[in-house]
Amino acid sequence: MTPLEIGVEVVGWAGAALILLAYLLLSAGKLTGQSLVYQGMNIVGAAGFVVNGWWHGAVPSASLNVLWLLIGAIASWRILKKRGSSTSAM
């Protein structure tokens, strides 16, 4: 394997680990869906899956994870927007 191929595999496995860990922490009640940490883990994890899926020609998987990443990004934006509006009212 070339260094690039190893990097793609590491990114993919790290993405898988992040998404799994995010779900574990959510299920254990350590994080909520409104947590930026939870959303960030999903965004970074999905990005890892996108890179790995695209590299391997797994277009359905890569496409799904682009959408997963966008959902996390939109949720993060809404969380930040909500925080900004609640602090500006004080």
pLDDT for res 88: 59
Confidence of residue 86 (pLDDT cuts 50, 70, 90): confident
Residue spans of the domains in the chain: they are 3-88
What pTM value is reported for the model? 0.90
Residues 6+ apart with CB under 8 A from 52: 8, 9, 11, 12, 15, 58
Per-residue pLDDT tens digits for 69-79: 999 999 999 99
Per-residue pLDDT tens digits for 4-60: 999 999 999 999 999 999 999 999 999 999 999 999 999 999 999 999 999 999 999
Q: Is 44 exposed, middle or buried (0-12, 13-18, 19+ CB in 10 A)?
A: middle
